[in-house]
Amino acid sequence: MDKLLVSPAPHLHVKTSTRSLMTDVVIALTPAILVSILFYGWSELMVLAVSVASCVLTEWAVTKFLLKRPSTISDMSAVITGLLLAMNLPASIPWWVTVIGGVFSIGVVKMTFGGLGQNVFNPAIAGRIFLLISFPVYMTDWSMTDGFVPVVDAVSGATPLTALKEALLSGSTVSEFFAESGLTVRDMIQDVGASAGEVSSLALLAGFAYLLVRKVVKIWIPLSIFATVAIVSGIFSLANPDLYTGPVFNIFTGGMVLGACFMATDYVTSPMTTAGGIIYGIGIGLITMMIRYFGSYPEGMSFAILIMNCTVPLLNNWFHNKKYGRP
Amino acid sequence: MNKLSFRIGGVHPADNKFSRERSIETLPLPKTVYVSMAQHLGAPAKPVVAPGDKVKAGQVIAEPGGFISAFVHSPVSGTVKSVSMRNDLAGRPATHVEIAVEGDEWAEGIDLSDTLVSEIRDDRQTILDKIKACGVVGLGGATFPTHVKLNPAPGKKADCLIINGAECEPYLTCDYRIMVERPREIVVGAAIMQKVLGCRCVIGVEENKPEAIAALRSAISELGYRDMEVGVLKMCYPQGGEKQLIDSVLRRQVKSGCLPIDAGAVVQNVATALAVYEAVQKNKPLVSKVMTVTGNCLPADRMHNYRFRIGTPLSFIIEQAGGVPEGAAKIISGGPMMGKAISNLDACTVKGSSSILYLDAESTKRKPAGNCIRCGKCSDACPMGLEPFLLNRLYKAGDIEGLEKNAAQDCIECGCCLYSCPANIPLLDNVRQAKAQALGAIRARAAAAKAAAEATKK
């Protein structure tokens, strides 16, 4: 007889692994990716490929040459960072900007902290903001590339949020903006012109539903973000409908759905407890709305997530699970 | 009917009760048995036999070595060959009495018939004395002496006796078989303990054992017990954990650092109820019990539920069941979640033995640990509401104060955290150490406080 294995209990292990969880996230992102390729064509596919390749290669190079440790790319987390980063970029972006974003996301934001599980900030969000600040022109050029089906190009060359900001700055009201642009609720949910990750809220929500069914993530963080955004924008738009947009517009434009469902729910950079997650979500919702209404940037989701990332250690310290037999 | 369950955590491994249809068979007697003196929780028993003595089955061979301890009886008739140290199942040295088997002669006064004796004639004290004299201990795994548990400290009162028939560990079917085959004896055993405690009784059985639920229910109505019922439990591990079962059945939680009796509950396993029945009604000491031989690499026709004499070497049982199967990477005594992996097959069965489980490498070999991705699955799984990832980190940092603050001492070692970790981090291995450190700190403080109090008294 061969040697017997001896180890402490338990002797069974669940089939879920880090890799399978990450693969589930990739599967969940697939509908939105397909839709964006449909709308933006080969150039979108190019952005996705370059982003994923630069993220994965950076992680491989850092582990091999700097850390001299076994490679961790097989856990698929770099692939997700690559996909999420690409979904935050315009399809028209030059390839070398995408590469810089990928190298920064993985090389600086993730690996310098010790790799998967150690980073404080969401790598894809930090990468996007890095690019937004460094290359504002490339990052806000939303002119249409050649897609396979025509996209609703309501506000050509700009996202609805940017166009709105410009309209408001030039003195028109919210209702005038909608009348001029012809933007409908259906457009917003299905196919509004923006980055890949913003183009179809419906596809993103379908992917998120898959994650919920597979019990990869819990609903509390996105739910509290959407609820906060709905309440805040509801109050503001009722108070002054000329100046402030309402809940539907705010939830279905910009990176709201992508950010809430796929980036704010990142395991590593979100709180461990449900209570902490709800506070975290409320914070993201509030900050996003404050930036959208009062800030100089049209879109506040990524800044809101980045800011709330900083509070996660505190939230983990303050909130704990209910323990058995303790008050 | 409403299915009962505990409110915090839990996991759902496949139950794999492959051997459920295998009726209990009586295992033949081995040539030699080795009876451990440390097969119960508490002080080891003190042998009262010497090499050369002739013993009969059911005869006392060791007396309790302290208040929390138990009698040990000879499981066979024969000659004592030696009283010496030997490694037990866990690989720890313990005193064993070696007996060469000769025939199968039983001590006086033991009723070996199958006739059901349902009338409970003895009074409370006599029942307790008989349970003690027959060496009955908790057969759910902890092997705590039953007579101690049934005799709460003055001022403490149980209002519910919970009989644990959850058998939430995957693979195991020994409790299931006795519930199906001997439900009336179990129910009478429960009634005996009810008489001692003077309270109602709920028998908790997981929903995946409908035949056992039906058998127990019909036994209860047949015997006309009013204050006893069967509670159907949701299938969720660790449903049969003492603290979880109390929460499931009574919607009460045992306060940290307290005993079940402080929450008004006493929990006893179904196999213990059967042993109590045999002790009180049949005067039969705990010298045999049922175990399952099963696994995921064992052909179905080699799975068994055996009634074996306690002290039978594992190697003998393995041989009787056709040897170690092809592909077995690990042999476990007990369930796959809390059982012990065995390396020495010469070790002998004890009162707490419930199975020989063969698992193949694919299902049981640990994978290399990755980074914690803070998914929180361990916290969600922990039935005590602890945060294993945090305890793991505090343990590595040597922060004993932090461990105590985050309740490492409350860990019940059920294995849910390690089971559910997608990064294969050996959480429980470290949390076990953490628990010991936290408990050590608490005990040291208590001892210091006691010493200080005594110093001021003088």
Output the pLDDT for position B277. 96
Task: Give me the count of residues in chain A.
Answer: 327
Contact B178, B139 (CB under 8 A): no
pLDDT at A147 over 70: no
Q: What is the rounded CA–CA span in Å between residue B334 and residue B349?
A: 11
Residue A5 and residue B341: Cβ atoms within 8 Å? Answer: yes
Are B66 and B80 members of one domain?
A: yes
Q: Which domain holds residue A44?
A: 18-139
Q: Which domain holds residue B262?
A: 1-23+107-365
In a domain, A102, yes or no: yes
Q: Does A30 touch chain B (CB under 8 A)?
A: no
Mean pLDDT on B34-40:
93
HEC readout, chain B: CCCECCCCCCECCCCCCCCCCCCEEECCCCCEEEEECCCCCCCCCEECCCCCCEECECCEEEECCCCCCCCEECCCCEEEEEEEEEECCCCCEEEEEEEEECCCCECCCCCCCCCCCCCCCCCHHHHHHHHHHCCCECCCCCCCEHHHHCCCCCCCCCCEEEEEECCCCCCCCHHHHHHHHCHHHHHHHHHHHHHHHCCEEEEEEECCCHHHHHHHHHHHHHHCCCCEEEEEECCCECCCCHHHHHHHHHCCCCCCCCCHHHHCEEEEEHHHHHHHHHHHHCCCCCCEEEEEEEECCCCHHHCEEEEEECCCEHHHHHHHCCCCCCCEEEEEECCCCCCEECCCCCCECCCCCCEEEEEEHHHHCCCCCCCCCCCCHHHHHCCCCCCHHHHHHHHHHCCHHHHHHCCHHHCCCCCHHHHHCCCCCCHHHHHHHHHHHHHHHHHHHHHHHHHHHHHHHC
- The verdict on B3 and B32 lying in the same domain is no
**Is A327 a member of any domain?**
no
- pLDDT above 80 for A166: no
pLDDT in tens, B164-215: 999 999 999 999 999 999 999 999 999 999 999 999 999 999 999 999 999 9
Same structural domain, A170 and A291: yes
Whether residue B156 is found in the same domain as residue B294: yes
For residues B320 and B187, membership in a common domain is answered with: yes
Q: Whole-number mean pLDDT of chain A?
A: 87
**Angstrom distance (rounded) from CA B335 to CA B324:** 17
The predicted complex's ipTM stands at: 0.87
Among A residues 251-270, those touching chain B with beta carbons less than 8 Å apart: 267-268
Residues A117 and A28 in one domain: yes
Do A175 and A288 lie in one domain? The reply is yes
> In this complex, is the C-beta atom of A15 within 8 Å of any C-beta atom belonging to chain B?
no
pLDDT at B1: 55
Using the CB atoms, write b or e for B127-159: b if 16+ within 10 Å: bbebbbbbbbbbbbbebbbbbbbbbbeeeeebe
Report d(CA B8, CA B384) in Å as an integer.
7
- A168 has a pLDDT exceeding 90: no
pLDDT at position A154 is 43
Convert the pLDDT of each residue in B367-404 to its tens digit: 999 999 999 999 999 999 999 999 999 999 999 999 99
pLDDT digits (tens, 9 = 90+) for B138-165: 998 889 999 999 999 888 999 999 999 9
Question: Per-residue pLDDT averaged across B418-429, rounded?
Answer: 95
Q: Residue A90 pLDDT more than 90?
A: no
Nearest CA distance, B423 vs chain A (angstrom) = 6
How many other CB atoms are found less than 10 A from the CB of residue A323? 18
In the block, tokens 């589930």 appear at: A24
How sure is the predictor about A249, in pLDDT bands with cuts at 50, 70 and 90?
confident
- Same domain as A186, residue A257: yes
Listed residue (A235, A312, A247) closest to A276, CA to CA: A312
> In terms of domains, do B53 and B157 share one?
no
Q: Check residues A199 and B289 and name the one with the higher pLDDT.
A: B289
- Chain B closest CA to A160's CA: distance in Å? 35
State residue A155's pLDDT score.
43
Query: Has residue A324 been placed in a domain?
Result: no
Task: Return the pLDDT at A178.
Answer: 73
Question: If you ran DSSP here, which 8-state letter would residue A293 be given?
Answer: H
Out of B365, B385, B407, a domain closes at B365
Q: Assess whether B440 and B419 both reside in one domain.
A: yes
Same domain, B289 and B168: yes
Domain assignment of residue B302, yes or no? yes
In a domain? residue A13: no
Q: Which of B337, B324, B316 is nearest to B297 (CA)?
A: B324
Query: In this structure, are A134 and A167 located in the same domain?
Result: no
Name residue B233's beta-bridge partners: B4, B206
What part of A 189-248 touches B (C-beta under 8 Å)?
none
Task: Report the C-alpha gap between A127 and A85 in whole angstroms.
Answer: 7
Q: Tell me the pLDDT tens digit for each residue of A51-79.
A: 999 999 999 999 999 989 888 899 999 99
Task: Say if residue B144 is in the same domain as residue B169.
Answer: yes
Residue A7 lies in a domain: no
Question: Quick one: A252 and A303 in the same domain?
Answer: yes
pLDDT of A162 reads 72
Amino acid at the residue A211: L
- One-letter amino acid for residue B327 of the chain: G
Residue A227 lies in a domain: yes
Are B44 and B16 in a shared domain? no
**Partner-chain residue, chosen from B247, B377, B428, that has the shortest CB–CB distance to A10:** B428
pLDDT digits (tens, 9 = 90+) for A170-194: 777 777 777 776 666 656 555 555 5
Q: Of B365, B386, B417, which residue is a domain's last?
A: B365
**Band of pLDDT at residue B239, cut at 50, 70 and 90:** very high
Residues A172 and A292 in one domain: yes
Task: Tell me the whole-structure pTM to 2 decimals.
Answer: 0.90
Quick: pLDDT tens for B252-306.
999 998 999 999 999 999 999 999 999 999 999 999 999 999 999 999 899 999 9
Residues of B in contact with A280 (CB under 8 A): none
B184 and B250 co-located in one domain: yes
Q: Is A300 on the interface with B (CB under 8 A)?
A: no
Whether the pLDDT of residue B426 is over 60: the answer is yes
Say how far apart CA B214 and CA A34 lie, in whole Å.
Answer: 54
Are both A97 and A185 inside the same structural domain?
no
Choose the closest CB to B422 out of A11, A16, A273.
A16
CA distance B407 to chain A (A): 9
Kindly report, residue by residue over B89-117, the tens digit of the pLDDT.
Answer: 888 899 999 999 999 999 999 999 999 99
The answer to whether residue B8 is domain-embedded is yes
- Whether residues B207 and B77 share a domain: the answer is no
Taking CA atoms, A32 is separated from A25, A27, A197, B324, B458, in Å, by: 12, 10, 7, 52, 78
**How many structural domains does chain A have?**
2
% of chain A exceeding 90 in pLDDT: 58
For residue B332, the cross-strand partners are: B341, B357
* B 190-249 → A contacts, CB under 8 A: 243, 247
Same domain for B42 and B66? yes
Count of structural domains within chain B: 3
Cis before residue A90, ω within 30 degrees of 0?
Answer: no
A71 interface with B at CB cutoff 8 Å: no
Residues of B in contact with A16 (CB under 8 A): 377, 420, 422
pLDDT over 90 (residue A253): no
A18 touches chain B (CB under 8 A): yes
Please enumerate in sequence order all residues whose Cβ is within 8 A of that of A196, keeping only pairs 6 or more positions apart, or say none. Answer: A32, A33, A36, A40, A44, A47, A48, A86, A87, A88, A89, A91
For residues B34 and B197, what is the distance between their CA atoms, to the nearest angstrom? 35
More confident residue, B158 or A2: B158
CA B283, CA B111: separation in Å to the nearest integer? 6
Asked whether residue A132 falls in the same domain as residue A211, the answer is no
Q: Measured in Å, how far apart are chain B's first and last C-alpha atoms?
A: 61
Say yes or no: A259 and A185 in one domain.
Answer: yes
Last residue within a domain, chosen from B58, B84, B101: B101
Cα angle, residue B227 at apex, residues B221 and B229 outer, rounded to 5°: 60
Whether A9 is in a domain gets the answer no
Return d(Cα B229, Cα A156) in angstroms, integer.
72
Whether A169 has a pLDDT exceeding 90, the answer reads no
**Residue B370 falls inside a structural domain:** no
Is there a domain that residue A166 lies in? yes
In a domain, B372, yes or no: no
Is the same domain home to A169 and A255? yes
The dihedral region occupied by B179, where left means phi > 0, alpha psi between -120 and 50, and beta the remainder, is alpha
Mean pLDDT, residues B72-94: 93
At residue A242, the pLDDT reads: 84
Cβ pair A267:B374 closer than 8 A:
yes
CATH of the domain at B94: 2.40.50.100
